[in-house]
Amino acid sequence: MLEKSTYGTKLRLYGTNAHVAKFSGINTTGLLFRTYITSSICAALGGLMMLATYSSARADYGSNYTMQAILLIVLGGVSPNGGKGKISGVITAIVLLKMIEAGINRFRSVSTYYVTLIWGAVLILALVIDYFSQKPKKAK
């Protein structure tokens, strides 16, 4: 959707620089509205799937997955500043993190709190690496 449609191109431009997108003639209000509607539909479908899995509902079920989602996106190569990223990188990050999580769960002595600590450390490391890789190079 982001690569093959005009909506995706406009959204990528808006993610890179909102002022440039507005000055280039894109209806940024309508674009944000459509993006929020799409996001809320995906969130509702995810909530329904969790409801079907757990047979109950609570408002904070997804709070455990917030840091994992951010970690997956950053590890997948999507820039936190916007403007670049691919789904294939995110899928690779999902597979890698699930393999690491399965390996950690093999050790019974490792608490789930340590897994969250490990994910936080990996997230900080990924953000630091992304920051230094985005830094402009000095001309000689």
Q: CB-based contacts of 63: which residues, under 8 Å, 6+ apart?
A: none
pLDDT value for 138: 60
SS percent in the chain: helix, strand, coil, step 5: 70, 0, 30
Closest CA to 35 of 83, 59, 2: 2
pLDDT value for 83: 62
Phi-psi sector, 60: left (phi>0), alpha (psi -120 to 50), beta: alpha
pLDDT value for 82: 66
Residues of the chain with pLDDT under 70: 82-83, 135-140
| 11 neighbors 31 (Cβ within 8 angstroms) | yes
What is the identity of the amino acid at 1? M
Residue ranges in 17-86 assigned as alpha helix (H): 18-23, 28-54, 66-75
pLDDT value for 109: 82
